[in-house]
Amino acid sequence: MGTRETDQQLVERARNGDTTAFDLLVKKYQHKILGVIGRYVNDHAEVQDVAQEAFIKAYRALGNFRSESAFYTWMYRIAINTAKNHLVSRGRRPPGSDVDIVDAEVVDHSGRLADAESPEASIARDQLEASVFAAIEKLPDDLRTAITLREFDGLAYEDIAQIMQCPVGTVRSRIFRAREAVDEHIRPLVSTARNSRA
């Protein structure tokens, strides 16, 4: 019926040696997984390599996949861990520019409104967007991951809790603290925009 059930059937087939079933899961989620990894790894070729490594790890670990969580939630966690391990192995920290791909998505969505905007409004929106991303980049890893999964990927609190391996209450707290920090960062810009309209 639902996506989760279909994924579960594919996982079962893959566990029984049906590689085509796992290929279907890869095709279904590779775009999202590339997006996740792209937040940590800047180089396009490296993103492809890390994604491939993440899917190989997932395939080898299928026996450990517990059906109570969605396959994508489980795969997401593997992708994040693989990306972080990749950076550590090269002596790098997860970069501040981990929202580049999200940036592209947001610009994509907001691009539809661009025609109706005045140049001033467009500049103000771009400045606000840049300010939001700058604020997110400065957050500690746990807050940044929580708010990114919630606001940009639209995941439920329960799914985020599984990915981050912490209680739902902790996820809510991290997202609240992250939003507060972002609000604090953009408040001067929002005030200026309001005053200039007045």
Both tokens of 51, joined, read 């994604």
Sequence-distant (6+) residues with CB within 8 A of 27 are none
Q: pLDDT for 92-131, tens place per residue? A: 655 443 333 333 333 333 333 334 445 666 666 667 777 7
Architecture of the domain whose range is 3-89: Orthogonal Bundle (1.10)
- 21-48 per-position pLDDT tens digit: 999 999 999 888 888 888 888 788 888 9
- Most confidently modeled of 29-38, 53-62, 129-138? 53-62
Domain boundaries, the chain: 3-89, 100-197
If phi > 0 it is left, if psi is from -120 to 50 it is alpha, else beta; for residue 94 that is beta
CA distance between the termini of the chain:
53
> For domain 100-197, which CATH number applies: 1.10.10.10, 3.30.1540.10, 1.10.3660.10, 3.40.50.300?
1.10.10.10
Q: Is the pTM of this model over 0.95?
A: no
- Among candidate residues 30, 27, 24, 73, the one with its CA nearest the CA of residue 50: 30
